[in-house]
Amino acid sequence: MHVTVMGTGYVGLVTGAGLADLGLTVSCTDVNDEKIRSLQDGQIPIYEPGLEEIIRRNRERGRLAFSTRLPEAIRNCLVVFVAVGTEAGPDGLPDLRQVWAAVDMIAESADGYKIVVIKSTVPVGTARRLADRLRQRPPGAPQFDVVSNPEFLREGSAVEDFFHPNRIVIGTLSDRAAAVMKDIYRPLYLIQTPFVFTTPESAELIKYAANSYLAIKISFINELANLCDAIGPSADVHVLAHALGLDPRIGSKFLHPGPGFGGSCLPKDSRALVRIAAAYGCPLRTVGAAVEVNERQFERVIEKLRQGLGSLPAKTVAVLGLAFKPNTDDVRESRAVRICEVLRREGCLLQVFDPAAMASARRLLGEDGMGYCSEAYEAVKNADATVFCTEWNEFRNLDLQRLKQHMRGDVLVDAKNILDPAAAKRWGFRYFGMGRSA
């Protein structure tokens, strides 16, 4: 079977490469010439462990190609996956212009029946509206079915998630489209992946609800970390999270305190769900509170730095970790970037390092007041304080004695609680964790 994927971002590229690995013939397309050219040259525009290998393998086997010739790719396939961006617009709802443009392109280019699969995260009702639009074609024009097939992959483990998803959600009113989707994902079905067949509206809502639930869990533990800070050294949020997680009704995942959640999905999707629910006259206050808590959580890190340094102007601060989480170069809505922006405004000089996100962070933060370093020990040189913002494994194993020798000051703000507070104290640091003390 031939499929076309529109959009070669984190979702489109992983989906296209993954489907090719499942044995389909895939054309990955994009309107961005530069991206496609670099993919054709074998360069992968994003950092995603394992992705390069499956792209190379499937290109060699002739199952995966990259192209900007969208009409041709659409004509040559039965199924088109739409994985274009849906960044938030000024009203907090996703901007759907890329989705509408993609679907219009499919309608104009198709010369026969097509199944349009919406992978992009879109508000409830979008798939149905797209189907209505596709139906308003002149008599004799090709027929379309629309499927909502939301994506749950996690950046940093997206390849693993593609081949071992928790579930595959397929929302469609068409039996024919549902059968084709089952066929596409057949190898995953055979390894017992749970499938949820439902309406497009439920499928769309499942995606928002899943991300919003995770957002609630993170904001919950972050608030408890703040409470532990207020109680003092006798309260430790890690002990609390461990004990909470032992209850299977709660579960241990997503109970790690930090500077708040970032990335291209959780902040955008939880804000969007609040807006979507409000539009239905049914406010989702729990999600709204999680969003509100998250907006302010990174300020705790600034406060801890201020507390340690006395004042911020003219201080040199090393920021380790810029990506919104480890194993990705994605800095969209990264709390580390936000922390850098505030510290710079406060007059700090910044020395930053991230194992993968230097180029993407540089595009956002520019040069002013920024020192981009090639490794962690270089970043901490003569720093008054070091703040850990992303829990990359290589930061967990840094030599604290060496770190201390390189720094001018002794303030260590561990915004992701990745260090051993007692060890930090032993090496002469004043340690500030989130909800736990040295």
On whether the CB atoms of residues 168 and 151 are closer than 8 A, the answer is no
CB of 118 to ligand NAD, least distance (A): 9
**Strand order from edge to edge, sheet including 144-148:** 64-67, 25-29, 2-6, 79-82, 114-118, 144-148, 168-171, 195-198
Alpha helices in 164-265 (DSSP H): 175-184, 186-190, 200-231, 237-245
CA-nearest of 174, 136, 164, 168 to 151 is 168
Q: Please tell me whether residue 327 adopts helix, strand or coil conformation.
A: coil
Instruction: Give the distance, in angstroms, between the CA of residue 112 and the centroid of all CA atoms in the same chain.
Output: 35
Segment lying near ligand NAD (by CB under 6 A), choices 81-89, 244-252, 313-321, 406-414? 81-89
User: Using the rule CB under 6 A, which residue among 155, 354, 384, 414 binds ligand NAD?
Assistant: 155
Among 17, 26, 93, 102, binds ligand NAD (CB under 6 A): 102
214 lies in the binding site for ligand NAD (CB under 6 A): no
Which of 265, 358, 387, 389 touches ligand NAD by CB under 6 A? Answer: 265
Is 165 a binding residue for ligand NAD by CB under 6 A? The answer is no
Residue 222 makes contact with ligand NAD by CB under 6 A: no
CB of 276 to ligand NAD, least distance (A): 14
Q: Does 271 bind ligand NAD (CB under 6 A)?
A: no
> Which is nearer to ligand NAD, 10 or 66 (by Cβ)?
10
Candidate list 4, 12, 159, 287; residue touching ligand NAD; CB under 6 A: 12
Handedness of CA 341, 306, 234, 397 (dihedral sign): positive
Reported as half-sphere exposure (CB side, CA atoms, 13 A), residue 198 has a value of 17
Residue 45 or 245: the one with the smaller Cβ distance to ligand NAD is 45
Minimum distance of ligand NAD from residue 17's CB (angstroms): 13
User: Partners of 370 in the beta sheet?
Assistant: 350
Catalytic annotation, pick one of 28, 228, 265, 389: 265
Closest CA relative to residue 119, chosen from 273, 1, 16, 270 = 16
**Residue list 38-77, contact with ligand NAD (CB under 6 A):** 70
Name the residue nearer to ligand NAD (CB basis): 163 or 427: 163
Between CA 380 and CA 316 the distance in angstroms is 9
| Of the candidate residues 3, 6, 124, 205, the single one contacting ligand NAD (CB under 6 A) | 6
- Tell me whether residue 12 or residue 18 sits nearer to ligand NAD (CB atom): 12
Out of 55, 64, 83, 340, name the contact with ligand NAD by CB under 6 A: 83
Confirm or reject binding of residue 29 to ligand NAD (CB under 6 A): yes
Give SS3 for 2: strand
Residue 30 near ligand NAD by CB under 6 A: yes
* 77 is a catalytic site residue: no
Q: How many residues belong to the site for ligand NAD (CB under 6 A)?
A: 29
- Give 330's Cβ-side CA count (13 Å radius): 22
Counting contacts by CB under 6 A, is residue 151 touching ligand NAD? Answer: yes
C-alpha dihedral, 207 to 251 to 153 to 188, nearest 10°: -100
Residue of 79, 96, 147, 153 that binds ligand NAD (CB under 6 A): 153
DSSP string for residues in 158-189: HHHHHHS-S-EEEE-S-HHHHHHHHHHTHHHH
In this chain, which residue has its C-beta nearest to ligand NAD?
9
Q: Which two tokens stand for residue 291?
A: 């969003």
**Residue 59 φ/ψ, nearest 5 degrees:** -70, -45
Q: Which is nearer to ligand NAD, 83 or 331 (CB)?
A: 83
Active site residues: 265
- Give the interface with ligand NAD as residue ranges (CB under 6 A): 6-12, 29-32, 35, 70, 83-86, 98, 101-102, 105, 119-121, 151, 153, 155, 264-265
